[in-house]
Amino acid sequence: MGMAVLPNNTDSVDDPLLPWLRSIKKALDDLKSSAESESRRQLDNTLEECIMKFKDDNRYCNDIRFLKIWLLYADAIQDFGSVFGIMEESKICLTQSLLYIAYAIFLEAKGKLVEADSIYRMGISRNAQPLEELKENHSEFLRRVSDYVNCGSLQEIDNGDSVQLQTKCVNPWAISTINNLLRKINPQMLKYNGYHIINKIYSGKVRLSSLHNNSRNKLVEIGGKKYLIKGCSGQGGFAQVFKAYVNSDAEEVVALKIQKPAFPWEFYMYRQLDMRIPIEERPSFAFAHKVHIYSDYSILVCDYLAHGTLQVGMLYFIYFMLIICIQLLIWTSYFAQDAINSWVVIGQCMEEVLCIYYCIEMLHMLEILHSVGIIHGDFKPDNLLIRYSRNDLTEDGFRGRTGPWHDQGLCLIDWGRGIDLHLFPDGTEFKGDCRTSGFRCVEMQENRPWTFQVDAYGLCVIVHMMLFGSYMAVEKKVSSDGSYLYQPKSTLKRYWNVELWRDLFTKLLNISPGEDHIKSLRSLRESFEDYMTSNPTLIKKLAQLLVKQRASLCCA
């Protein structure tokens, strides 16, 4: 927690705690200056001796200074539960809101969000002071949890190994579901190569909390290696992704995903990909080399791809529209922050042949992924990195993804919301809301069960963004047989391949329960491939556009 106990002025001449406060402050100062194990032991011993000496002294049962000593001790031994139990039994500082805030923060760092919530509520029910500060911290905690799991429920759900809700549906992103699944698979995870558990807080010289978007050339020590931070690649509510050089070697570049509280689930999903995805398809789904799980942070070490996301890749046409402008760098810097808005500004979208290519790639991805029982759960353009072949693209090998086309395509990242269907009984459906604006499938919007629809809807939104330059709005239309079909509100342009796109949206926005949607994905992919291979000039044009796109992104 890093709290410093400072000696307070006191009117009392007889304050035996005061010399101890000075000793603790000196020990803290020594620890900050040397960080050696002997300094750590000296501080721990001083804290323990002080607590044992004054634990039963009524003068200090509600003294904020004594509370801070207890909190330092709990942080030192990393057993806040036992310390809290002793304090409750001895009725020490139970009316101080700091006690509940500190314990709840500790639990949150451990990933025990339900327990953290109960501690906040306990302090509020005891009217701990200052009460408003406690309530404010609790509200901030709930906002973080909402962002973290994208689910508004903190309710415990535990009706067996499948963690099923009473409605026979499961919220796959609920805290209780994730915690129960992690407990279930923990013995399996301990055997995974690259899974490192460190049962203490991260104690490197560079504090992880000091890393920000503009952090450069900071040296972070993790698992015996030193990573030189070269910039922030992305940031969410609880995680940051940094480009880093391993042992300062510019030839060995990785991505570090630093997350608080620790989140081992994503590493589990990466190892499932390793085991289930065919080796020739594996480059399309990202790699994680290792994860370090501390009591306060997790650090995921992944491959780093330098060519940006599909979200940025959609800008290639804009770059070449502006290449003659002397303000090119100013414009591209602006547009790269918001690809969608940039299309609206200049009224341009991605060429259809490139849209078709990326649509084929995404259909193929979901076909492979869903066939092995995995749902990504967060399928959107900024989670799709662009892969480029080192060799020139030719007309040969396009359909079979051989030769240079094997290395060309997309790479799906960020598996924090991944769902492993093998951990649930056959036929399980889900009823959670991703809460991601623009990517909530129809079933989520109407509070109906879903499974693969969450990824299929994401694909449709991405296609709509490529074609129209905007997010997709859907409407419910009556079909010829009296049933309802969902379709995008936007009107397809006459000079596009209208039947191909209409078929795509119709099938993927209207997946019925029990339908063989993998067969539909394959059929759609093959129809787009048939069109592309029907005319050799289309593949030649595609290859030229990909070269231009790569050049434009390098310029940016």
Domain span holding position 355: 335-555
Q: What is the pLDDT of residue 307?
A: 65
Task: Identify the bridge partners of residue 298 per DSSP, sorted by sequence position.
Answer: 259, 293
Task: Identify the bridge partners of residue 474 per DSSP, sorted by sequence position.
Answer: 488
Q: Is position 503 annotated as part of the catalytic site?
A: no
Task: From 150, 176, 207, give the residue that closes a domain.
Answer: 150
Which CATH number is 197's domain given? 1.10.510.10
Whether 311 is in a domain gets the answer no
Q: What is the pLDDT of residue 161?
A: 37
pLDDT band at 470 (very low <50, low <70, confident <90, very high): confident
Query: Token pair of 337, please?
Result: 């922050």
Identify whether the C-beta of residue 414 lies closer than 8 Å to the C-beta of residue 397: no
Whether 171 is in a domain gets the answer no
Q: CA-to-CA distance for 179 and 152, rounded, in angstroms?
A: 16
pLDDT per residue over 229-242, tens digit each?
998 887 766 788 99
Q: pTM score, two decimals?
A: 0.67
Whether 306 has a pLDDT exceeding 90, the answer reads: no
Is 508 in the same domain as 460? yes
Is 249 in the same domain as 140? no
When mean pLDDT is compared over 104-118, 155-169, 533-547, the highest value belongs to 533-547
Whether 309 has a pLDDT exceeding 80, the answer reads: no
Is 105 in the same domain as 220? no
pLDDT per residue over 513-552, tens digit each?
888 999 999 999 999 999 999 998 999 999 998 888 777 6
Whether 255 is in a domain gets the answer yes
Least confident of 126-130, 163-167, 242-246, 489-493: 163-167
Task: From 282, 303, 324, give the residue that closes a domain.
Answer: 303
Query: Token pair of 515, please?
Result: 């339908």
**Domain total of the chain:** 3
Whether 250 is in a domain gets the answer yes
Task: Identify the bridge partners of residue 387 per DSSP, sorted by sequence position.
Answer: 409
Of residues 361, 284, 349, 348, the one with CA closest to residue 532: 361
CB burial of residue 315 (10 Å; 0-12, 13-18, 19+): buried
Identify whether the C-beta of residue 168 lies closer than 8 Å to the C-beta of residue 261: no
Distances in whole angstroms, Cα of residue 101 to Cα of each of 145, 203, 526: 15, 22, 57
Q: CA-to-CA distance for 313 and 351, rounded, in angstroms?
A: 12
pLDDT band at 45 (very low <50, low <70, confident <90, very high): confident
Apex CA 315: angle with CA 360 and CA 499, to 5°?
Answer: 35
Is 350 in the same domain as 288? no
Summary mean pLDDT of the chain: 83
pLDDT per residue over 330-389, tens digit each?
333 333 223 323 333 344 578 899 999 999 999 999 999 999 999 999 999 989 998 888
Which CATH number is 77's domain given? 1.25.40.430
Identify whether the C-beta of residue 450 lies closer than 8 Å to the C-beta of residue 444: yes
Identify whether the C-beta of residue 437 lies closer than 8 Å to the C-beta of residue 443: no
Q: Which of 296, 378, 414, 455 is catalytic?
A: 378
